[in-house]
Amino acid sequence: MHAVEETPRLSTFLSQIANGLVLGSLIALIALGYTMVYGIITLINFAHGEIFMVGAYGGLATLTYILPTAIATTWYFALPIALVAGAIVAMLIAVAMERFAYRPLRNAPRLAPLITALGVSVALQEAMRVFYPGATAALPFPNLFIEGAVVIPIGDGVVIRYVGILLIVMSLVLAFGLERFVERTRLGRAMRATSQDRDVARLMGIDPDRVIVLTFAIGGALAGVAGVLYGSYLNNINIDMGFQNGIFAFTAAVLGGIGNIRGAVVGGLVIGLVKALGGQYLPGGTAYDYVWIFVVLIIVLVFRPQGFFGESERVRA
C-alpha cells in the first residue's frame, strides 16, 4: 500500500531531476563563455546571452535557407551541420563584438565596457527582430535528433527525450574538452598567463589581443552550439531567449565561482535542478521558480562570496 503511493511521487521527482539536468547542461554551456571572458578581461559580457540567441538563428537559417530539404530533414546530416553553422555564426559575432565594441575600451574604466555590453545586447536583439524574416514572433525549430524518449519504468514512467540526453552529453563533453584545453595546451597556458598578469604575459611574448579574441571565439562557439541544441529541444526559438537564459548562465557562473570552468558547469546544473525541483515542490509552483534560483544565489554568496570553486584571493600586481 505504502509502496504504491510512493512510486508516482518518485517518478515525478526523477522526471524533474532529468528536466533539471537538461536545462542545467544548457545553462552550463552558456555559462562557460561568461566565465572565460571574465577570467581574461574581468568583463561581465552581458551580450553573451545574445550570442547564444544569434547562434540558434544561425542554425535555423542554415536549415531553412541553405540546406536542401532532404538533408535538412535527415538528422545525421542536419544535426552536425546546424551545430557547426550555429557555432560559426555565434563565434563570428562574438569576435566582431570584441574587436569593435570592447577592444577600443580596453583601458577605459570598467563601467564603460559593461554599459557597452548592455548596448550590444539590445542592438543584437533588435537587429535580429528587424532583419531575420519572421523573427517578430517565435519561430518553429525542428528537432535535429532522433525522435522519441527513454522511458524508465518507475511509477507513471520517467520520460527522458533522446534530444535531452544529447544535450547533457554534449555539454559535459565540451566542458571537459575545454578544461583539458585550458589546462594542458600551450594556448591554454597563454590564456591562463594572460588572465593572471597581462603585462608580464606580454613580456613573455604572448599577444594578449590574440588570446582575448580566442577566448571570445571559444565562448561564442559554445554558445552557438547551445543555441542550436536549445532550439532542437524546445522546438521553437525567439528573440528573448538570449536575455532569459543569459541571466541564468551569468548566475551559474557567479554561483560556481566566476572565472572557473568547473564552477560554471556545477553552477549551471545547480540552477537547472533548483528551477525544476523548486517549480515542482516549493510554494508558488513554476510561477516562482525564478525566485528560488536567485534565493539560492543570494544564500551561496552570503556564505561563500567567491562561489563554489572561486579563489578567494585574486593576486594582481
Partner 1 sequence: MSENPQTADGTPTDGTTTDGTTTDGTSAAAEAVVEVEAPPEEVTAELAEDMHIATGTREPILVSSGVTMQFGGLRALSDVNLSLHEGEIIGLIGPNGAGKTTFFNCLTGLYTPTSGQVTLRGRAMPQDPARVTEAGVARTFQNIRLFPSMTATENVLVGRHVRMKQGPISSLLHGPRFRRSEAEAAERAEKLLAFVGLTRFSDELARNLPYGDQRRLEIARALATDPSVLLLDEPTAGMNAQETEATRQLIFAIRDLGVSVVVIEHDTKFIFTLCDRVLVLVQGELLVEGSPDEVRGDPRVVEAYLGAPPEEVSAQLQTGGAADGAGTAEGKSE
Please report, for residues 24, 102, 166, the alpha-carbon distance to residue 233 in angstroms, rounded to integers and kept in the order given: 13, 33, 9
Please identify which residue in 123, 127, 170, 193 interacts with partner 1, judged by CB under 8 A. 193
Q: Is 106 in the site for partner 1 (CB under 8 A)?
A: no
CA distance 86 to 220: 10
Kind and range of the H or E run holding 120: helix 111-131
Q: Which residues touch 191 (CB under 8 Å, ≥6 apart)?
A: 39, 40, 182, 211, 214, 215
Which is nearer to partner 1, 202 or 304 (by Cβ)? 202
157 torsion bin: left (phi>0), alpha (psi -120 to 50), beta (else): left
Q: Does 180 bind partner 1 (CB under 8 A)?
A: no
Q: Which stretch in 63-71, 166-174, 182-190, 269-277 sits in contact with partner 1 by CB under 8 A?
A: 182-190
Instruction: Kindly state the smallest distance separating residue 204's Cβ from partner 1, in Å.
Output: 5
Q: 204 vs 291, which CB is nearer to partner 1? A: 204
> Is 311 near partner 1 (CB under 8 A)?
yes
Q: Which residue has the cell 544548457?
A: 26
Whichever of 197 and 289 has its CB closer to partner 1, that residue is: 197
**Count of residues interacting with partner 1 (CB under 8 A):** 23
185 binds partner 1 (CB under 8 A): yes
| Structural element, H or E, at residue 158 | strand 158-161
- Between CA 100 and CA 265 the distance in angstroms is 29
Which residues 204-233 are close enough to bind partner 1 by CB under 8 A?
204-207, 210, 214
With CB under 8 A as the contact rule, the residue among 200, 291, 299, 301 that binds partner 1 is 200
Rounded CA gap, 230 and 223, in Å? 10
Kindly list the residues in this chain that would bind partner 1 in the complex (CB under 8 A): 185-187, 189-190, 192-193, 196-197, 199-207, 210, 214, 311, 315, 317
